[in-house]
Structure 1
Amino acid sequence: MALANILHLGVKELRSLGRDPMMLVLIVYAFTLSVYTAATAMPESLNKAPIAIVDEDRSPLSARIVDAFYPPYFSQPVLIDGHKMDERMDAGLDTFALNIPPHFQRDLLAGRQPEIQLNVDATRMGQAFTGNGYVQAIVNGEISAYLERHRNLSTPPVDLVLRASFNPELNKVWFGSVMEVISNITMLAIVLTGAALIREREHGTVEHLLAMPVTPFEIMAAKVWAMVLVVLVATTLSLSLVVQGWLGVPIEGSVPLFLTGAVLHLFATTSLGIFLGTVARSMPQFGLLLMLILLPLQVLSGGMTPRESMPAAIQYLMLLAPNTHFVMLAQGILYRGAGFAVVWPQFVALLFIGAGLFSLSLARFRKTIGAMA
């Protein structure tokens, strides 16, 4: 009888979700356009940054430096006069303005150390921070290549060979798309369960459930399995159709093993969503409470920045959060092709954290229902 009640109540949750168009739009958006946008809209590397060059030397070396700036890192350089440099930057036309002084090539061949001025529009923080190093590397590379024909430069004693593992193309799309799917799993699990509970309270259907021969455990278990199923199906479709199909990201490890870990993670996060739904009295309160809980979970889980770069106290504290372990196992499986023998500690941690959150949420849920009765 208990299993039948859990099954029928879960089907009721699915029907209720199907009649909520806003939640359906959120689910579709979170696992399609949101994933694509996060993977492609904000490039980590420089992309078509506008640059202007003041060439006061007019030498073969300065021409070589000008020709070294081209897409996709930079837009086609605009050759300008010196008096237009500040004017163009004030108007926001250029992110970088490179000024090559007169007699630059002659002073360089004479053994002097001439200077090249680089002006940067620091209000464009992303391009300014990354592009500074790009410009310096390009200029130094062209100068070195030019001097090799005029001087006998010593060969470096060590040749550094780079081998990028797990992402040989250093493609940010491979990282951004998968991490967005992982983040949206946590977000939707909390939102769907918490919103379902608050929606029932606002519509008065909780009182109807209290008149039925069902227990708080059955009500909560039904909400958990229904929302877990919805997010799990959406995750599977997103990985196959959006990540692998649309974006062309290769998945190294076992998708079924990842989905198994996702089930344990969803068990914990849906329980957390129910707990937050019992604390909040309305949807606006739930939204504010969600920002206070979800943002620290996402930022400090290791998905945005490595955990090793965080203070030690934060690292130990975040071991109590389910998505910290989920990010570790998801990266291990999907990026590095890790098997269960590698990620089993994260599975065990998620199981214990999920059981703890479920017990805590069940006690709070019983108290809430008791107060309403």
Structure 2
Amino acid sequence: MMLRHLANIYRLGVKELWSLWRDPMMLFLIGYTFTVAVYTAGTAMPETLHRTPIAIVDEDDSALSQRLIGAFYPPSFTPPVRISQAEVDPGLDAGRYTLVLAIPPDFQRDLLAGRSPALQLNLDATRMSQAFAGSGFAQQIVLGEVAEFLQRQRVVTPSPVELATRVRFNPTLSNTWFGSPMELVNLITMLSIILTGAALIREREHGTVEHLLVMPVTPTEIMLAKIWAMALVVLLASALSLNGVIRGLLQVPIEGSLGLFFCGVTLHLFATTSMGIFMATLARSMPQFGLLMVLVMMPLQMLSGGVTPRESMPAWVQWAMSLAPTTHFTELSQAILYRGAGIDVVWSSFVALALIGSVLFALSLRRFRATIAQLA
């Protein structure tokens, strides 16, 4: 009896794989998300300054002002553009500059006379990352150049306390090391829900569910077939993306055991594919399923700890998200991929994923049986 059930699950799963193979849009979605999307997430939003557009209003035209202009150079900044005071607001409004440094008249003379002249730094705060990092960097450059000009040399005042900074797990503070693995984690969740939900809705729209009802198969076998087939596709695609794009193309080092990580991926896929089937039983069409995906995926991705640390969230949000599989999957992924953690560290996340997956599978199976009964 058990062998017959396993054979049915296997054959139904193969049918799902053939259906996916004949769906070019789904194949394009899988290929795009696990290659271009992962690469883009790792390279498109650098935290460090890179070619930040800057303009300078030089109303002093002195040796010091020329020194300040020369201190802003690529690759952190684009070559500074000299503009007039009347061009500042139009340039910022048009988005041509992120930073505009205004040097007032008689700046050097006032400085040498012991007065405290003021410089004006205008920021385009709509470019949040560049404006935040650029303002601090620009202040350091200006203060350093002014101090060196006054003292004729750059003097570092010794501090009574030495702060030794030790950066672990990402010594260069590269956004690529963080962005690409976290994007892969999010895509594993998204694609597993989409593929299983779309597989069920596709059968309902094509009328093949009725064909399954007359076959000697149970709802449990149908559901398990969809789960293992779609989970296998996502598992293989994530393995190729991790080794080909993240480790190969982006040169991101992976500290932990890939075998342990993909064991966690398998448990997570068990939970998310069950969730996808549950959502597909609620939606009547693919457009409805897409709208439901937006409502579900946004909190799953934003509140799971991959974007913002969970400790900075309200307590009730932390408690609520502890019931979501993405929270525990993000925890174990960061621990294994970044910090090289072993099973002794991530075992609690594995247990939580197994429990949540079992509950989601039971709820999905109950809902799936009710849907099958209505069609019958």
Q: Which residue of 2 aligns with 1:359?
A: 362
Moved more, 117-126 or 243-252: 117-126
Q: CA–CA distance in 2 between the matches of 1:144 and 1:156?
A: 17
Q: Can you give the 5+ residue segments of structure 1 that lack an aligned partner in the other structure?
A: none
How far residue 91 of structure 1 moved from its aligned partner, in angstroms, is: 4.1
1:76 alignment partner in structure 2: 79
The alpha-carbon distance between structure 1 residues 136 and 357, as it changes in their structure 2 partners (threshold 3 A), is same
Q: Return the offset for 1:150.
A: 7.4
Residues 333-354 of structure 1, C-alpha deviations (whole Å, 9 max, x = no match): 0011111111111001000000
Deviation at 1:267, TM superposition (A): 0.3
State the distance in 2 between where 1:211 and 1:338 align. Answer: 49
CA root-mean-square deviation:
1.7
Give TM-score, length-normalised by structure 2: 0.95
> Which residue in the other structure is 2:347 paired with?
344
Alignment-derived partner of residue 60 in structure 2: 57
Where in structure 2 are the equivalents of 1:217-296 lying within 5 Å? 217-296=220-299
User: Structure 1-normalised TM-score?
Assistant: 0.95
1:5 aligns with 2:8: yes
Q: In the TM superposition, what are the counterparts of 1:133-212 in structure 2 within 5 Å?
A: 133-149=136-152, 154-212=157-215
Deviations 1:151-199 (A, max 9, x none): 9885322233322110111111111111110000000010000000000
Q: Choose the corresponding residue for 1:85, options 64, 88, 91.
A: 88
Question: Separation in 1 of the partners of 2:95 and 2:257?
Answer: 48
Q: SS at 1:47's partner residue? A: coil
Q: Is 1:99 paired with 2:102?
A: yes
1:334 to 2:337 alignment? yes
Partner Cα distance (2:373, 2:27) in 1: 31
Unaligned runs of 5+ in 2: none
Cα distance in 2, alignment partners of residues 92 and 231 from structure 1: 41
3-state SS of the aligned residue for 2:102?
A: strand
Asked if the contact 2:195/2:230 (under 8 Å) is kept, the reply is: yes
Report the Cα distance in structure 2 between the residues aligned to 1:368 and 1:166, rounded to whole angstroms: 48
1:92-120: per-residue Cα shift (whole Å, max 9, x none)? Answer: 33222111122323333443221101122
CA distance in 1, matches of 2:10, 2:109: 83
Label 1:319 to 1:213 Cα distance change in 2 as closer, same or farther (>3 A). same
Relative to structure 2, which stretch is displaced further, 106-115 or 161-170? 106-115
**Residues 5-25 of structure 1, C-alpha deviation per residue, up to 9 Å, x if partnerless?**
111111111111111111110
* Mapped pair 1:122 → 2:125: yes
The one-letter code matched in structure 1 to 2:117 is P
TM-superposed deviation, 1:295: 0.9
Secondary structure at 1:364 match in 2: helix
Amino acid at match of 1:112: R
Change over 3 Å in CA distance of 1:186–1:54 after alignment to 2? same
Amino acid at match of 2:360: L
Question: Match of 1:302?
Answer: 305
Change (3 A) 1:154 1:231: closer
Cross-structure match for 2:47: 44
Provide the aligned length of Structure 1 versus Structure 2. 373
Q: How far did residue 144 of structure 1 move?
A: 3.1
Q: Match for 1:324 among 319, 323, 327?
A: 327
Structure 1 residue corresponding to 2:26, chosen from 23, 34, 37: 23
**Whole-Å separation in 1 of the counterparts to 2:354 and 2:63:** 67
In structure 2, C-alpha distance between the alignment counterparts of 1:129 and 1:288, rounded to whole Å: 35
Moved segments of 4+, more than 6 Å? 150-153
**Identity within the alignment, %:** 64
Give the AA of the match of 2:31: V
- Contact kept, 8 Å, 2:147 with 2:154, in 1: the verdict is no
Q: What code does the residue aligned with 1:17 have? A: L
